[in-house]
Structure 1
Amino acid sequence: MKSKYLSILTSFSIVIALTFFAATINVISLPDDIKISGSSTQINLRNNSLKNNLIYKIDSNSSEKNSKFKKDTLNISIKLFGIIPVKKMTLSIVPEFKVIPGGQPIGVKINMDGILVVGFSDIDTQNGWKQSPALTSGINIGDRIIEINGVKVNRCSELSSIINNNKDSVLKIKVINSEKTRIVDVKPVETKNKNEYKIGLWVRDSTAGVGTLTFYDDKNNIFGALGHPISDVDTMLILPISSGKIYNAKIVSVEQGVRGRPGELRGTFSMEDEIGDIEKNTSTGIYGKINSRVSKNIYNYAIPIALQNEIKEGPAKILTSIDGNEVKEYSIYIEKLTQQSKPNSKSMIIRVTDSELLRKTGGIVQGMSGSPIIQDGKLAGAVTHVFVNKPDMGYGIYIEWMLKEAGINF
């Protein structure tokens, strides 16, 4: 009998210890800094409430005004049994910030900073096929050609012209890859067609497509879109840009998404319907200046943003267009939130629940990236990716990461 009680006591002690351990790990994993807007009445920390209990005691000092950032801060200390400090946090109450949510389809065209190497080709010469001189000289896929013989190049036509003007002279080609710059000597080869010289490269200097506008700040004329970077289709590298434009666009057809194959919004746009200049292509989207009126939206006024600690798992809406340029509101469900301390385009997992959107698109499709996520009347984030094998589900990014990249302080 004594052994039985001892076994029960041991098991109970193990359960208590594991409970304390799990609770401690959960608290330690909370962010060091939390921001909420001045109008917020809720703080969501992975669905944990910030309050005293049998295990933890929450101590906080009085609110202090930080004049530099124009916000109130509260220093919080969490102690095990009210004695052992296990976590210190800073709660910042920032002024409510508003932007106009998008949802409109946009045409996107960017010109790269340099010329991107995407492949190699052998050259058909008078004496038969010859291996690519660029490849044998040490140029790699993913390199960007930025100068030839000291002359800056940004267009494929410039590259071709310099090669033919120098004929079989050795070219000093400056390339950059992963922020490392080097000079490569390459000697062009005369092709079977006399007076034409090549170095055996496939290159790209620009790209274009259709996406979705996420927000714009009408006070500063700043916009953000896509929620993820524009990457090269062959190398998957984020494309550095020298210039770019966005245009009002129209969706003309929809390829429905199915398991194993993402769908797509197909759109058209005119170069004469320019609405903004792209200044940055980053891991969280594209950003720049709005210089013209965008197509109409459900929201023609600014709404508050929701910081990540104010967003909760549950029902929400997305704004997007799947026909023409008409923006509609569709129902989704935020399945999971990830606590993040730095920008990431996979902040939350979302699921499309709207029957109309599911019927017409199958869920999330390419071109829908950047569609604003609205929860409780606030702009919470944007759609970024679709799950290839589950097209009704995908990822979203917190709006605060996009605002940060846009250079908007709040």
Structure 2
Amino acid sequence: MKRFFKRSAVFLGAAALSVLGLTGYYSSALPDSIYTSGPPALQTFFDITADGQGSYQAITGADSSRTYTLKLFGTVPIKDIQASTKARPMLVPCGEPFGIRLITDGVLVIDLQADGGFDGDMSCPAARCGIRIGDIITSVDGQCVSSNDDISGIVEQSGGEPVSVTVKRMGKVMNMTLTPELAGGKYRAGMWVRDSSAGIGTLTFYDEQCGGFGGLGHPICDADTRQPLPLSEGNVGEVEITGYEKSVEGDPGELKGHFCSSAAAGTLSLNTGCGVFGRLFSSPSEHGAVPLGYKQEAHEGEAYIYTTLDNGEPQKYGIEIESVDLSDDAEHSMIIKITDDELTDKTGGIVQGMSGSPIIQDGRLIGAVTHVFTEDPTRGYAVFAEKMYITMKQSADIGEQAADGR
């Protein structure tokens, strides 16, 4: 009998530790807040229920916010989450390619001249005053700058006298003093900067109610520093895909194309970690609107994407969602795998330029393709469409404020 109770105690102890481990895991793996169109339902391996006995707060109209307690197996508390109930948006999934023209807010430092003929122990005047590669310079000597020519002109006119430089670094604004030096017969700062960018991506969705769009699924970054380019102004245009290079292990391919004309098809408002956003002058797609899928509705299993290769129209290709990360600090929302034989035969999987291709699961727009795995081009990362939609709404608000002159 004693042996029975001893074994029972060991078993119960192990079970208790397992439950504690599960609650700890789900506490960090599940988000602190979600959007939903009804009682929250989470796609998890073990049964998790949401007890809505918490506080309730009306927001506006049909919108509301309620605190729910998540419970493992309906009994063991995990954490409280805030669920905002809203009418589910309807969005047009796209898959069309689009051209991006971006003018930066200030200029991005991409190189410091180590062999520019400057005197002193440090490499150049810019480095000596504290400027680093990846910094964003917004003004020199009190004048706003948006190009390399702006900086060169101000530095040359200084005659070698110190000039003030305003720099943004990791979200912080810093003021520095730069003393130009003669090199090659001219006063120079000793740095290379980037002032604009252009490229091709894929539109994810279009919102017929506000004219807003989201695309790309990741930021437009400088090719040298890999830093997101700060957006001052920009527009989007129609492009024609002329072909593609196939992805192979270790070497991702890319879509080939060009702008159809210099005319703009819309405006850019935001360049963010989850894509680019703005307004289009007209709907880019003939697809009908589908419901937005909330992040907690994404699950492992079959889905499909719309993307454009060489025939001018988006086509539907099968994929599998391999994993979903709902944690608030997740670097990537989902991992996906191309399962469509036609697409893999043509492109080897994901190629550069397909970023932004919308992902449909269970009839809902659930995400967008973002990155390809270099070692396995059939697999890659994806971002939640919900995250892109929330950012797009911010972009629409910015556009409205600009139009109203506020």
Length-normalised TM-score, structure 2:
0.86
CA distance in structure 2 between the aligned counterparts of 1:354 and 1:239, rounded to whole angstroms = 34
Letter in 2 for 1:355: D
Closer, same or farther: CA 233–83 of 1 in aligned 2, 3 Å: closer
Letter in 2 for 1:322: L
- Deviations along 1:289-330, one digit per CA (max 9) or x if unpaired, are 112453x44x1x211111012222110001111115311010
2:240 to 236, 240, 250: 250
Matched, 1:176 2:157: no
Corresponding residue of 2:400: none
Corresponding residue of 1:346: 332
Corresponding residue of 1:55: none
Matched, 1:145 2:145: no
Letter in 2 for 1:315: E
Contact preservation (8 Å) 1:44, 1:312: no
Corresponding residue of 1:13: 12
Closer, same or farther: CA 133–350 of 1 in aligned 2, 3 Å: same
Structure 1 segment 76-87 matched on structure 2, within 5 A: 76-77=68-69, 86-87=78-79
Corresponding residue of 2:401: none
Instruction: For residue 49 of structure 1, report the CA deviation from its aligned partner.
Output: 3.6
Q: Does 135-144 or 86-95 show the bigger shift?
A: 86-95
Instruction: For residue 281 of structure 1, report the CA deviation from its aligned partner.
Output: 0.8
Corresponding residue of 1:35: 35
Aligned length: 390
* Paired residue secondary structure (2:262): strand
Instruction: For residue 75 of structure 1, report the CA deviation from its aligned partner.
Output: 4.9
CA distance in structure 2 between the aligned counterparts of 1:82 and 1:199, rounded to whole angstroms = 65
CA distance in structure 2 between the aligned counterparts of 1:285 and 1:232, rounded to whole angstroms = 14
Corresponding residue of 1:226: 216
CA distance in structure 2 between the aligned counterparts of 1:334 and 1:274, rounded to whole angstroms = 35
Corresponding residue of 1:322: 309
| Structure of higher CA gyration radius | 1
Contact preservation (8 Å) 1:123, 1:198: no
Structure 2: gaps of 5 or more residues: 397-406
Contact preservation (8 Å) 2:166, 2:173: no
Letter in 2 for 1:368: M
1:214 to 204, 224, 235: 204
* Paired residue secondary structure (1:18): helix
Contact preservation (8 Å) 1:170, 1:188: no
Q: Does 152-161 or 7-16 show the bigger shift?
A: 7-16
Instruction: For residue 361 of structure 1, report the CA deviation from its aligned partner.
Output: 1.1
Instruction: For residue 168 of structure 1, report the CA deviation from its aligned partner.
Output: 3.3
| Percent of aligned positions that are identical | 36
Corresponding residue of 1:188: 181
CA distance in structure 2 between the aligned counterparts of 1:80 and 1:325, rounded to whole angstroms = 49
Closer, same or farther: CA 82–317 of 1 in aligned 2, 3 Å: closer
* Paired residue secondary structure (1:392): strand
Letter in 2 for 1:386: V
Closer, same or farther: CA 63–165 of 1 in aligned 2, 3 Å: closer
Corresponding residue of 1:54: none
CA distance in structure 2 between the aligned counterparts of 1:207 and 1:338, rounded to whole angstroms = 32
1:123 to 113, 116, 130: 116
Closer, same or farther: CA 177–363 of 1 in aligned 2, 3 Å: same
Instruction: For residue 154 of structure 1, report the CA deviation from its aligned partner.
Output: 0.6
* Paired residue secondary structure (1:16): helix
Letter in 2 for 1:180: V
Instruction: For residue 254 of structure 1, report the CA deviation from its aligned partner.
Output: 1.3
Instruction: For residue 391 of structure 1, report the CA deviation from its aligned partner.
Output: 0.9
Q: RMSD value over aligned CA atoms? A: 3.0
Contact preservation (8 Å) 1:112, 1:240: yes
CA distance in structure 2 between the aligned counterparts of 1:88 and 1:197, rounded to whole angstroms = 61
Corresponding residue of 1:376: 362
Letter in 1 for 2:111: G
CA distance in structure 2 between the aligned counterparts of 1:142 and 1:243, rounded to whole angstroms = 20
Closer, same or farther: CA 106–148 of 1 in aligned 2, 3 Å: same
Letter in 1 for 2:144: K
Closer, same or farther: CA 340–82 of 1 in aligned 2, 3 Å: closer
CA distance in structure 2 between the aligned counterparts of 1:242 and 1:48, rounded to whole angstroms = 47
Instruction: For residue 104 of structure 1, report the CA deviation from its aligned partner.
Output: 0.6
Corresponding residue of 1:44: 42
Instruction: For residue 276 of structure 1, report the CA deviation from its aligned partner.
Output: 1.1
Instruction: For residue 101 of structure 1, report the CA deviation from its aligned partner.
Output: 1.0
CA distance in structure 2 between the aligned counterparts of 1:261 and 1:46, rounded to whole angstroms = 35
CA distance in structure 2 between the aligned counterparts of 1:72 and 1:138, rounded to whole angstroms = 49
Corresponding residue of 1:359: 345
Structure 1: gaps of 5 or more residues: 52-57
Closer, same or farther: CA 84–37 of 1 in aligned 2, 3 Å: closer
Letter in 1 for 2:35: K
CA distance in structure 1 between the aligned counterparts of 2:146 and 2:69, rounded to whole angstroms = 54
Letter in 1 for 2:246: Q
CA distance in structure 1 between the aligned counterparts of 2:137 and 2:70, rounded to whole angstroms = 54
